[in-house]
Structure 1
Amino acid sequence: MSMINEQDFKQLSNYKNETCVSIFIPTQRAGKEVLEEKNKKHLHSEWTEVKKKLKEKNIDDKIIDKIGKPIQELIDNRDFWRHQSDGLAIFSSEDFFENYTVPVNFEAYHYISQEFYIKPLVPAMNGDGKFNILAIQLEDVKFYEATKYSIMPVEVDDLTPSRLEERVGFDYKEKALQFRTQGEGGEKTQFHGHGGSERDDRVEIKQFFRAVDQGLKDHLNREKLPLVVYCQDYLFPIYQDANTYNHLVEEVIQGNPNDSDMLGIHQKALEIAEPFLNENRDEKKEKYKELSQTENTTSAVSDIISAVHQGKVDTLFIENRAEVWGKYNKDKMEVSFSENQENGNISLLNLAAKKTIEMGGKVYLVEHEFMPQKKSKMNALLRF
């Protein structure tokens, strides 16, 4: 299982070859579809269609076999299909292969060109779409950096105690404590154990949580991202009391983090964090509307492509599930359009998205009805 990160994205974005194949399929995490191998059959169907098109393009059979070998190995790997998220992205050429499991429900799509089609993954690179996850128990601390599309564990053992006993001393017998929550009548959590009074137990847990809070403080304050906590419900009020970080999300993922794998942790955290992830996008949309009658915005695709290559684009809005075919002449800075992908035409939306990210801009995939200027499939907010 592999999830996309910035280094992977740059590698895909810069890769060139005579024949590059990109395949996207929706997948299911569990249930009847997984048991019936629907995901596996879906990839088989897409690869069959791609192979047919490669033959129609007179691609050498040996190259087709090299491209298809790792794809067929995935199709035949039964264990691989037991660990899926919402979408699978595959990138293959005769000397390159990567696949990424991501929490994005792709529409089935494939793309054959001299470059990879990375537009569906572009939002994962938006810094404002990032957040942190702290999965904490009295005997374990895990920390993750995440986006809407990815999750990455971060090693924090050198920053925080990894368990309560490291902070308050090994004479504290955490396993001897039992906790139960009185659900009726709003009564508070009761602490029962052999290590001391309820108040002492709370003090020691708070000591541990304060040590975690202080250990993560410098790391968290570098980017000031939303922090989502995953812990058992009786612990969260104590963590809130110990917390000094200003961007702690007030809603907790309730439960034992050990009951979820990394994808499950990401899914639960995303449900809480998602409202925070669209704030910058919405601000940029409003800015576009405010400046729509000025030279600081454009919805002309040809102008946008040229502006992107000059590093003039601050924010690019691309209509999701849309496409614009054509070619771009870098030397003449000219765009030519076509109705299809034939004769060497490429996705101009894919080109603009890649180049905008490369030049330090932001890219948002937006449904048609939410585009700032709906008459065009691309809108750009330019740098001043």
Structure 2
Amino acid sequence: MSMINEKEFKKLASHKNEVCVSIFIPTQRAGKEVLEEKNKKHLHSEWVQIRKELKEDGINNSLIDKIGKPIESLLDDRDFWRHQSDGLAIFSSPEFFEKYTLPVNFETYHYISEEFYVKPLVPAMTGDGKFNILAIQLGDVSFYEATRFSITPLEIDDLTPSRLEDRVGYDYKEKALQFRTQGEGGEKTQFHGHGGSERDEKEEAKQFFRAVDQGLKNYLNKEKLPLVVYCQDYLFPIYKEANTYNNMIDKVVSGNPNDTDLMGIHQKALEVAEPFLNENRDEKIEKYRELSNTESTTSVVSDIIPAVYQGKVDTLFIENRAEIWGEYNEDKMKVKFHENHQNGNISLLNLAARKTIEMGGKVYLVEHEFMPEKESKMNALFRF
């Protein structure tokens, strides 16, 4: 599965061509909809509509065929449709094609212009919304960097022991540490051993977890991201005792990480991390409100876009699912607004979002009721 990263985002954002097609559709991971090929049919329906619009715009058939060939090949890829997440983003031009399977509930949307529509992907590039995942068992340790949109496995073999016996010694008998569930109905799982006490076995596990904690300490403290732990319930209290990292979330993703795939690990960890990922956004919104009616903020779109190009914007708030159509003359620093999407104009919100990221600012897609100044679809907090 292809998930977006910063390098790929910037490649998309900078791509220009006579015709660029961006497609977003919601998808289902499993169930009846997948068996009935609902995801595939949804894309097919969008592509039929896009072909019609391209023809109406006077685009010749050979160009349409170039854009459509990889999309139509994707429609025939049965294996691809069996492995979906929550949303699918497709970007196609005569010389370019890329697709991203993402844990994002996109609304169905397509955009035809001389640029790709990257606004729905922008929050993944702000840096906020990043977190780490530690998937740990006594016989296995895995570590990931994640955002709402992506998950990347990180190699940590040189930092941590990968198995308990690597820490407590190979004279440790793996069979001496077993687990059983006492009683019916999945009650608390407990340690028991052959010839050893429960306390000793827990101490060995704690010793192993302490080694993992210390091995990751320097890495974790570089960015101080939220840390989500994925392990079985009975192990989490032991890991909490061993843990010294202040930004570990005090709620476990319960279960065996080996029972799911990479996308499943991401989905479950995101559910735990989500409440902690909006903290920086909320701080910026509060800062905007504190500085409203000063020269440090504005909600005037015709002022915001030139300021973005000049690198003045620290944080840009864009109303989610909103749109502003028009043109921007960079030489004259002038914005022209249109009522509808038409030949020659662009999404000004898409333009402002991608340019803000390019200039090192941050962008947040915000629901209308949470916008700092609700009368505008775009608010900007300037750098001091």
- 3-state DSSP of counterpart to 1:127: coil
Aligned counterparts of 2:42 and 2:113: Cα–Cα separation in 1: 21
Superposed, which structure 2 residues align to 1:6-85 within 5 Å? 6-85=6-85
Q: Deviations over 1:283-316 (max 9, x none)?
A: 1111111111111111111100011001111111
Amino acid at match of 2:26: P
Aligned residue number for residue 246 of structure 2: 246
Aligned residue number for residue 323 of structure 1: 323
**TM superposition score normalised by structure 2:** 0.96
Q: Deviations over 1:24-64 (max 9, x none)?
A: 00001111111111100000001111111111222222221
Structure 1 residue runs of 5 or longer lacking an equivalent are none
Pair 1:22–1:217, CA change in 2 (3 A): same
Amino acid at match of 1:236: F
Aligned residue number for residue 379 of structure 1: 379
Aligned residue number for residue 258 of structure 2: 258
Alignment check: 8 A CA contact 2:176 2:196 kept: no
Aligned counterparts of 2:230 and 2:123: Cα–Cα separation in 1: 25
Amino acid at match of 1:56: E
Aligned counterparts of 2:262 and 2:177: Cα–Cα separation in 1: 28
Amino acid at match of 1:42: H
Structure 1 stretch displaced more, 195-204 or 158-167: 195-204
Alignment check: 8 A CA contact 2:190 2:234 kept: no
Q: Is 1:111 the counterpart of 2:108 in the alignment?
A: no
Question: What's the offset of the Cα at 1:181?
Answer: 4.7
Q: Is 1:299 the counterpart of 2:287 in the alignment?
A: no
Question: What's the offset of the Cα at 1:176?
Answer: 4.5
Alignment check: 8 A CA contact 1:173 1:195 kept: no
Aligned counterparts of 2:155 and 2:175: Cα–Cα separation in 1: 25
Q: Deviations over 1:307-334 (max 9, x none)?
A: 1001111111101111101111111100
Q: Is 1:278 the counterpart of 2:278 in the alignment?
A: yes
CA RMSD of aligned residues (A): 1.6
Count matched residues. 383
Aligned counterparts of 2:50 and 2:183: Cα–Cα separation in 1: 56
Aligned counterparts of 1:256 and 1:29: Cα–Cα separation in 2: 20
Q: Deviations over 1:146-181 (max 9, x none)?
A: 111211111111211111122222222334532135
Alignment check: 8 A CA contact 2:319 2:365 kept: yes
Aligned counterparts of 1:224 and 1:89: Cα–Cα separation in 2: 30
Structure 2 residue runs of 5 or longer lacking an equivalent are none
Question: What's the offset of the Cα at 1:98?
Answer: 0.8
Q: Is 1:346 the counterpart of 2:356 in the alignment?
A: no
Pair 1:309–1:195, CA change in 2 (3 A): farther
- 3-state DSSP of counterpart to 2:128: helix
Question: What's the offset of the Cα at 1:382?
Answer: 0.9
Question: What's the offset of the Cα at 1:251?
Answer: 0.4
Aligned counterparts of 2:329 and 2:94: Cα–Cα separation in 1: 27
Aligned counterparts of 2:112 and 2:371: Cα–Cα separation in 1: 27
Aligned residue number for residue 121 of structure 1: 121
- 3-state DSSP of counterpart to 1:79: helix
Aligned residue number for residue 137 of structure 1: 137
Aligned counterparts of 1:195 and 1:106: Cα–Cα separation in 2: 56
Percent identity (aligned): 80
Question: What's the offset of the Cα at 1:92?
Answer: 0.8
Aligned counterparts of 1:157 and 1:51: Cα–Cα separation in 2: 50
Pair 1:195–1:61, CA change in 2 (3 A): farther
Structure 1 stretch displaced more, 303-312 or 209-218: 209-218
Q: Is 1:235 the counterpart of 2:229 in the alignment?
A: no
- 3-state DSSP of counterpart to 1:129: coil
Alignment check: 8 A CA contact 1:172 1:195 kept: no
- 3-state DSSP of counterpart to 2:380: strand
Aligned counterparts of 1:148 and 1:183: Cα–Cα separation in 2: 39
Superposed, which structure 2 residues align to 1:118-197 within 5 Å? 118-182=118-182, 189-194=189-194, 196-197=196-197
Superposed, which structure 2 residues align to 1:202-241 within 5 Å? 202-241=202-241
